[in-house]
Each structure stands twice: as structure tokens, then as C-alpha cells.
Structure 1
Amino acid sequence: MNAKKAIIKDSLHKNNLHRRGYDFSALTQSYPPLSSFIISNKFNQQATINFSDTNAVKALNFALLKKYYHIEHWDFPAGYLCPPIPGRIDYIHYLADLLKESISDNANKISVLDIGTGASCIYPILGARTQGWHFVASDIDPISIKAANANVKSNKGLAKQITCRLQQNSTHIFDGIIQPNEYYHLTMCNPPFHKSLADATKGTLRKWQNLSKDSNSSNRQNNTLNFGGQKGELWCQGGEVSFIRQMIKESKQYREQVLWFTCLVSKKDHLSAIKLSLKKANAAKINVVKMAQGQKISRFIAWSFSAEK
């Protein structure tokens, strides 16, 4: 089994540490429990894991966090979303690019709001470690906030950079989180993409089928969510378009307190409806930033009410 040979992933951001794939030898040295999940790819005999196994993905993610981001503790309850690190850090890098085009290099502390941070608190952790940003991490789920707080407090230095806040009203996004006199250079969000649990389950089954084609998994197909996820993480009434429209509506109220509002958009076809809502809200600037992880194309939309650079 070749554990060292890597495939360069040119589609990832140029600053993404994972462009060369996974060095499983180094990762298992950093986090030995990962070794129990290492298997041989049936096509090229290189080291890999079964990406349809949540426990294997979680072990890989922790190994990456430990080796590259100096994280000594990272955990979350069973059934909660297990985020892949390379794609998450790409969003951070592209946000950093957006920010560099908007503010001077000698700007003071950069403040970022992460909407729906999840139990893993992954975006604030990555943003704090790689960019030195300061975060407010919000979520509607008390269990997620408890787990996120545990991750923050268990790693040196993060408590000075990350504050977790519970959103008391599940119908609100910024309301109740952004406080008077606070200013954020960025907001970010990985929204619930699906319209219903049934829709989320269908998406999971498609993901399962795609993963099983490329793995040695002998697991039987089932209706479990391979990478976990609770209702608020995966679906909401009306899906992501409805969610982002609500975000746009509320963003007008905080136009003086945020430089750039941003949100991931899973489907390209949704962009036209979202852009129309932004134009009706009189957004001064609208950017769509494309990202790619292998064959998967993703994107986020960014808007600002500031007419300045």
C-alpha cells in the first residue's frame, strides 16, 4: 500500500494545505487511532479510508486538525454533522481573499460571525488558527453550542478568539446575535440545504451511492446520514433559497455593522433567485465566488451595502 504518493488537487485554493491529498503516514503518526481505518484503494492500491464511514471520516478530520492546525481536542455528539476539512478551509481562504480586496493590510482585529457553527465549531477553529480572526459562533441548537464551547475551551488560545452564542429564536438569523455597537468584517454560513427530511435523506442516499463506487465498503445501503447532521444542519422549510432570503432580509437591518455578508449556495440554479432578492434589498455589491473540491463545484455568494472599495 502506497501511503505517501499524493494526487495534487489543483481545484482547491492555492493556499489550501490539502492540495496534495492526504499523507496517511504522517497523519497516523500525528493521530495513531486513524490507522485502524486505513484501507487500500481497490483501483490503485494507495492508502485511503472508507469515506462512507462516519467514524473513519471523523478520525481523518481530527488527524488533519491535530497535525496542521494544532488542535488537541475535537469532538461532538453522535449524529451531528462531521465536516470534511479540505472543503471547509477553502471557504476560509476565499473569504480571506475577499477581505484583502476590501480593507487595508494594517486593519486591526478581524471580526467574523459564523451562522450555524454546529457542534464541531469547524469554521471558527480553522479561521482562528489560519487567519488569526476573532469569531462569534452562533447556533439554534443548545447541544451544538455546548459541544462547540467544549472544543473551544479545550484548545490553547481559542477561548480568546471564539465566543459561542445560542440563537434563542430559530426563525431569526442575525437578530438576537449581532449586538449594538458590534462590527463584523465578515459573516459566513453553511446553510441547511434541503427542504425537508425526506429531501435530505434522498441526498444522503445519492452521496452513499457515489462514495460506495469509489470505496471498498461492504456496508449495506441504509437511510442514515453518512456524515451525520441534525435537522437544523441539513434542512429547513423552503430549503436554502428561503433561508438565504431571510438572511438577506435581516442583513438590511445590520448594513452598518457588517462589511460583507456571505453564504454558501449548494445549487447554481438557485443563484438567480438569490441575486434578485439582493437587488431588491439594494445591495451595493454582489459577488459569487466559485470553489471546487475535485469534481464537486461549490460556491458562496457575498453582498455588501457599502459602496466603498
Structure 2
Amino acid sequence: MAKGLHPRNVHQGNYDFNALCAALPTLSEFVFENQYNNLSIDFSNAKAVLCLNQALLKCFYNVDFWQLPEGYLCPPIPGRADYIHALADLITTEEGIPTGKQIKVLDIGMGANCIYPIIGSQSYGWSFVGSDIDPVSVKMAGLIVKSNKNLNAFIKLRLQKDEKSIFNHVIKANDKFTLTMCNPPFHASMEKAQAGSARKVKNLNKGKADQKVTLNFAGKETELCCAGGEIAFLKQMANESVNFASQVTWFSSLVSKSENVAPIKKLLTQLGAQQVKVVKMTQGQKISRFIAWKF
């Protein structure tokens, strides 16, 4: 039996829809009693998922304003929180988990949702720099940060103007980061992304062919795709990280496809990484992982 979420993850067990609706009454219009007599929402309904996220962020992270541009990635928050908590474990010492603004984290591709900086700043008081190649994402994330007083002092945003770079031009000469993190684009094209979305919705609808296929978590091409897919992105990230070895304690990235772990570990060893760790995370039947390395 797969283990559950990280022990410090506040999203254990089923969603408490009564508490969530109390925090955000507009969620109630999407909540219904399912066939098991439990409260739920239609997870293939993009508006319902967005409203659920707004309620979760308000209830657990004191975020009053959180919105997304039409069609942008709406992330599943419990799984995103696990990455943050697992990174906290990575840098934990005998004195405990390091907290506060002195822990500086770079989130590569933070997206319009800005989810990792939100969770990390509110859970541990870490300071974040979020970067993205999409101006709309940077503008929306900036509006979220500006609209929530508890985020203002913790999150800074940078537009990556060079679409062919990851760390280059984002990490400045005087920057020092405890961690970098990334949820990389893992499709080589939007066609492959849409095929994956169709499979996801089919599973959500338990294979009912007459259900309209929608992308429940949405996502723009810059969020989902890059030339060569995930492995190409990870290889570039590994190669660029060498140039910033003295400025970053731990680099990390999610790895969606398990077959990409071995070649990236091999490359990192060739590049001179002194430590390489692969950390697995589970959410129900889903298994995810991130790779972390330091020089």
C-alpha cells in the first residue's frame, strides 16, 4: 500500500468541504454528494477546480486573492505542497528545519499560479525568487503577490527574457540560493500534452466515452512543453547548473518520467556533482519524484 502525503502536509485525507465552503462560500455551488455519500466536486470542471484551489489557499495559506488567466495551469495543491516539505527535509540539520527569509529559494517556471512560492513562504517563512519565460505568467503572479500582504515581503519575480536559458540571466552575480526548484515542462509538443489530458479526464470519468474531454488542470504551451521534452530540459538544467555551483547549495527538479532519472544521474556525476539524491513522493496511487544535486 502506497504511503500518503508528507507528514507535515496539511492536506491529509479527504477534503473537508464544509470547512472549505465556510472559508469560501462560492465553492458551495460546485459541491455535491457523490455515489459514496461523500461531498465532492467534478474534478473535470475547470471552474470547480479553480474554486477549490482558492478555498484551499484561503483556508490553509491565508491567501485572499488568487486568480488565473483563462487556460493557464491550475495545479493540484496537495502534491505541490509535498515537494516543498520534502525540500525542507533535504536542508534539515541537527538544529531542525531551517526557516525564515535567510532561506532563499529560486523557483524556475513559477507559472501564473505562483504556487510553490506561496506554499513555501507561508509554511516556512522562506523567501522566493520566481522566474518564468511567459510575461502573462509573471504579470499574474505579480498581481497575486501584490494583492496579498502576507506574500509581499517574501516573493520577488523575474522574467526570463532568453527562452533558451534556464538559470542564465535569472541568477544574478550577487545571488545566493539555498535551493532551486522546478516543475519542468514534460511534453515535447501540445499534441502529446492533449493526449495525456484526454487520458487523465477519461480516468476521472471512469472511461465514459460520452463525457466531453476537457483539460481539467489546463496549461499553456510554455507551461507544458519544450523542444525535446522533459529529458532535454533536465539535461540543459544540469549543464547550466555547473556555472552557478558556488551560488546554489542544492539544485532540484521534479522528474515526471521515471526513465529519465538514470540518464540525469549519470550526467550530473559526469558534471562533477558531489551529491545526487532522488526523493520519491506519493499521493494516493500517484508516485512522483524529484532529483536534487549539489557541487
TM-score class normalised by the smaller sequence = over 0.9
Corresponding residue for residue 240 of structure 1: 230
Pick aligned residue for 2:243 from 253, 276, 288:
253
Instruction: Count residues in correspondence.
Output: 293
Pick aligned residue for 1:93 from 80, 85, 90:
85
Q: Distance in 1 between matches of 2:52 and 2:44?
A: 12
After TM superposition, list the pairs within 5 Å mapping 1:1-309 onto structure 2: 10-42=3-35, 44-101=36-93, 109-213=102-206, 220-222=211-213, 224-305=214-295
Shift of 1:57: 0.7
* 8 Å Cα contact 2:99-2:124 kept in structure 1: no
Q: Deviations over 1:232-281 (max 9, x none)?
A: 11111111110010000100000000000000001111111111111111
User: Aligned to 2:91, what secondary structure does the other structure show?
Assistant: helix
Shift of 1:285: 0.3
Shift of 1:40: 1.9
Q: Distance in 1 between matches of 2:212 and 2:293?
A: 40
User: In the alignment, residue 299 of structure 1 is paired with which amino acid?
Assistant: R
User: Aligned to 1:227, what secondary structure does the other structure show?
Assistant: coil
User: In the alignment, residue 56 of structure 2 is paired with which amino acid?
Assistant: L
Give ranges in structure 2 of 5+ residues lacking alignment: none
Q: Distance in 1 between matches of 2:98 and 2:139?
A: 35
Shift of 1:10: 4.7
Query: Scaled by the length of structure 1, what TM-score is found?
Result: 0.91
Q: Distance in 1 between matches of 2:98 and 2:257?
A: 36
Shift of 1:99: 1.0
User: In the alignment, residue 290 of structure 1 is paired with which amino acid?
Assistant: K
User: In the alignment, residue 42 of structure 2 is paired with which amino acid?
Assistant: N
Corresponding residue for residue 6 of structure 1: none
Q: Distance in 1 between matches of 2:96 and 2:215?
A: 43
User: In the alignment, residue 10 of structure 2 is paired with which amino acid?
Assistant: L
Query: Scaled by the length of structure 2, what TM-score is found?
Result: 0.95
* 8 Å Cα contact 1:10-1:19 kept in structure 2: no
Q: Distance in 2 between matches of 1:36 and 1:93?
A: 32
User: In the alignment, residue 83 of structure 1 is paired with which amino acid?
Assistant: P
Note closer, same or farther for the CA distance 1:298–1:32 as it changes in structure 2 (3 Å cut). same
Q: Deviations over 1:122-167 (max 9, x none)?
A: 1001100001000000000000000000000100131111001000
Note closer, same or farther for the CA distance 1:102–1:54 as it changes in structure 2 (3 Å cut). farther
Q: Distance in 2 between matches of 1:145 and 1:102?
A: 37
Note closer, same or farther for the CA distance 1:263–1:38 as it changes in structure 2 (3 Å cut). same
Q: Distance in 2 between matches of 1:52 and 1:252?
A: 41
Alignment root-mean-square deviation, CA: 1.8
Shift of 1:106: 6.6
Q: Distance in 2 between matches of 1:170 and 1:142?
A: 11
* 8 Å Cα contact 2:89-2:97 kept in structure 1: no
Q: Distance in 1 between matches of 2:219 and 2:144?
A: 18
* 8 Å Cα contact 2:105-2:180 kept in structure 1: yes
User: Aligned to 2:263, what secondary structure does the other structure show?
Assistant: helix
* 8 Å Cα contact 2:251-2:294 kept in structure 1: yes
